[in-house]
Amino acid sequence: MYPRDYSGDLGRRNQFDGRGPGIPCTFPRPPAKIAPMDERPDIRVGPAGWSYEDWKGTVYPEPPPPGFDPLAFLARLFRCVEINVTFYRPISPRTSESWLRRVPEDFLFTAKAWERFSHALEGFTAEDARIFREGLAPLVRAGRLGAVLLQFPWFFRASAEARERLRRALDALDLGVPRVVEVRHRSWLDALDFLRSLGVGFCNIDQPRSASGLAGTRVVTGPVGYVRLHGRNARAWFDPSAGRDRKYDYLYSPEELREWIEAIPAFPAARVFVIANNHFRGKAVVNALQLQEAFGMPADPPEPLRGTYPDLLRGKK
């Protein structure tokens, strides 16, 4: 059965060496076996976050025009975005309300859970959970929070202790919307039935391969499908001295994206979120636009992006 097809290596023909092939003039035609749009899940493609200094003049106009709003700008290109700031700290309800006013009515957010739920050795308190949920409540009430993503570090193995921690975190993050878990250790492939029993989704990640890591899975264990593209810059990914920007500096080639283009429409879920996290110099926006075009949802690339990556996409017709 497809949800258990977690052994496929979507990067088997690539060396993941970080060189990143250039962008073609036009995206290749989607293969004929892709399901018609009315038979597919609701596929939502977007970037992870919208506040990056290196997007100025690359994705966003520089200098920005008066009143320029990066979130509203991206909401004209995509149908969802993943909120990054919530990983570092809770937000206020006023912030959520502001975001709602700046995007179209059919636009969805996903939110990364506060790192205190997944990374902090001391764990979290009931007050931490209350504050976090309170900040996202306006998005939930408006029906605009598509999922909450709980991201664990690579060394988080599927031990009994880890499963209990995950269970507690999921209980604390019950906002009445789908919850998705991003784990990076291969031991979790033997715990998929456990995730299904909790009703939690599995985040499929595209990242450089390692002996203990996960990459290229195609798993659905909850009500929504979720895919995150981190890039395949292995040289920087496994370099302890590499900073965030170097690790996520990768541009997917059409051939690398095609394997996801063929797989995602077959995910057994009503909705699938596809989040591009290879954010350096707007490469997440480049690849997200390419994916969107391949799924039959083209958008006109912004002029700064065309200037940085010439002949990017056909755009709308």
Give domain status of residue 315, yes or no: no
Give domain status of residue 209, yes or no: yes
- CATH number of the domain residue 59 falls in: 3.20.20.410
Give domain status of residue 314, yes or no: no
Pairing between β-strand 201-206 and β-strand 108-112 as defined by DSSP bridges: unpaired
Read off the pLDDT band of 312 (50, 70, 90): low
| 214 close to 200: Cβ distance less than 8 angstroms | no
If you average pLDDT over residues 4-9, what whole number do you get? 33
pLDDT digits (tens, 9 = 90+) for 33-44: 455 566 789 999
Confidence (pLDDT) at 121: 80
State the Cα–Cα distance between residues 200 and 151, nearest whole angstrom: 13
Confidence (pLDDT) at 211: 85
Give domain status of residue 317, yes or no: no
> Among 204, 159, 165, 197, which residue's Cα sits nearest to residue 182?
204
Burial class of 22 by CB neighbour count within 10 A (0 to 12, 13 to 18, 19+) = exposed
Q: Which residue has the tokens 């999921």?
A: 170
User: What's the sign of the alpha-carbon dihedral 215, 220, 221, 227?
Assistant: positive
Q: What is the DSSP track for 172-201?
A: HT-SSS-EEEE--BGGGGGGHHHHHHHT-E
Q: What tokens does 148 get?
A: 């909450």
Number of helices and strands in the chain (H, E): 11, 8
Question: Domains in the chain: how many in total?
Answer: 1
State the Cα–Cα distance between residues 304 and 202, nearest whole angstrom: 35
Taking 80 as the threshold, does the pLDDT of residue 221 lie above it? yes
Read off the pLDDT band of 313 (50, 70, 90): low
Confidence (pLDDT) at 39: 74
The residue with greater pLDDT, 237 or 12, is 237
For residue 89, what is the DSSP state? S
Residue numbers of the domain that contains 108: 2-308
pLDDT digits (tens, 9 = 90+) for 50-104: 999 999 999 999 999 999 999 999 999 999 999 999 999 999 999 999 999 999 9
Report how far apart, in Å, the C-alpha atoms of 19 and of each of 104, 233, 242, 280 are.
Answer: 37, 7, 15, 14
Give domain status of residue 229, yes or no: yes
Taking 60 as the threshold, does the pLDDT of residue 7 lie above it? no
Read off the pLDDT band of 244 (50, 70, 90): confident
Give domain status of residue 316, yes or no: no
